[in-house]
Structure 1
Amino acid sequence: MEKVTTLFLKVAVIFLGIPVLALCIFLVPELANVAAELLPDFAFVKYFVYIAFDASAIPFFFALYQAFQLLRYIDNNKAFSDLAVKPLMKIKYCAITISVLHVLVLPLFYVFAELDDAPGVIFVGLIVPFASLVIAVFAAVLQKLLQEAINFKSENDLTV
């Protein structure tokens, strides 16, 4: 049963990466072109969009790899070891990095909202930073709980 669950989660991790890869290939160039058209005075905006969104894909895929590693540790019955704490820490830092990169793009969402007279665009721009911040906090809590469980387990191993 445990192997089936982790296999399902591994497949889910792979399927999480496919849409983000598609977004990086197809949507980011379109967003960059729209940004360049809306702000013709600022030629660097197109490259800023490319850098910000594609750079945030790097920590995303690294975090997916770390999640895959964590599932491998669970498969190998090493879930309650120091090896399992490190991927959670790396996932936390990746989520914080993604959040910071998308917060840097928020002024562009503000400019688009002003040009389109649609204030809801700013809230759309807040979705990714907020979601990645929630993931960072969740990973930090899991990291702390796992570390406490490992410490508790080692204390019990010493007393027996």
Structure 2
Amino acid sequence: MKRGTVIWLKGTIFVIGIITFVISIFFLPGLAKEAAEMNPEYAYLRFPVLIGLYATEIPFFLALYQALKLLHYIEREVAFSELAVFSLGYIKKCAFIIIGLYVIGILMLAIQNALHPGIAIIGVVIIFAALVISLFSAVLQELLRSAIELKSENDLTV
């Protein structure tokens, strides 16, 4: 992969991380306060929902870090290694954790009769996106594992 492409991808990952961090620190608390003022009957859910959103950011940022490590492996030309397989597995696990947290959050809001249809749609979209990422990383992990096995067999043959 060309060096410029790897740098562009790293920059994209940094931008995604910075935007997510800025939104979570500066905009989410204000949004939660505004929602609590508009709907005082659901004001008691302000902090549990915020904590749930912040909890999903932990695996998100860990997955971004693993993506940066994958790009570093590509840059150093060791992309076909067990380290890359491990990083893909870690991304897959982070995506499953995000799915689990959002499913639990949606179920808890539904039990409380506080699940707004807009929030449900956003939650389902995030769950679907995390599912696609987990499936894609699982497929890449297996392909990479197979390629490493073929490479080692080829090295032994020659």
Same fold (TM over 0.5): yes
| Structure 1 position 105, deviation (Å) | 2.1
User: Aligned equivalents of 1:42 and 1:29: distance in 2?
Assistant: 13
CA distance in 2, matches of 1:81, 1:10: 20
Is the aligned partner of 1:70 residue 2:73?
A: no
What runs of 5+ residues in structure 1 fail to find an aligned partner? Answer: 114-118
CA distance in 1, matches of 2:41, 2:149: 58
Q: In the TM superposition, what are the counterparts of 1:65-144 in structure 2 within 5 Å?
A: 65-107=65-107, 108=109, 111-113=114-116, 119-144=117-142
C-alpha spacing 1:42/1:33, structure 2 compared with 1 (3 Å): closer
AA aligned to 2:49 is V
CA contact (8 A) 2:96 2:134 kept: yes
CA contact (8 A) 2:81 2:148 kept: yes
Q: What is the aligned-residue identity percentage?
A: 45
Q: Deviations over 1:79-124 (max 9, x none)?
A: 11111111101111111111111122224376242xxxxx454222
- The size of the alignment, in residue pairs, is 154
Shift of 1:156: 0.6
CA distance in 1 between partners of 2:42 and 2:119 (Å): 22
Q: What TM-score results when the alignment is normalised by the length of structure 1?
A: 0.86
Q: Does 1:147 align with 2:145?
A: yes
Gaps of 5+ in 2: none
Shift of 1:133: 1.1
Residue 101 to residue 3, structure 1, CA distance change in 2 (3 Å)? same
Aligned-residue RMSD, C-alpha: 2.0
Match of 1:53 in 2: 53
Taking structure 1 as reference, are residues 127 and 27 closer, same or farther at Cα in structure 2, changes over 3 Å only? farther
TM-score, normalising length: structure 2: 0.87
Deviation for aligned residue 1:4: 1.1
Deviation of the 1:40 alpha carbon? 3.6
Counterpart contact for 1:10–1:68, Cα < 8 Å: yes
Q: In the TM superposition, what is the alpha-carbon distance from 1:26 to its structure 2 partner?
A: 2.5
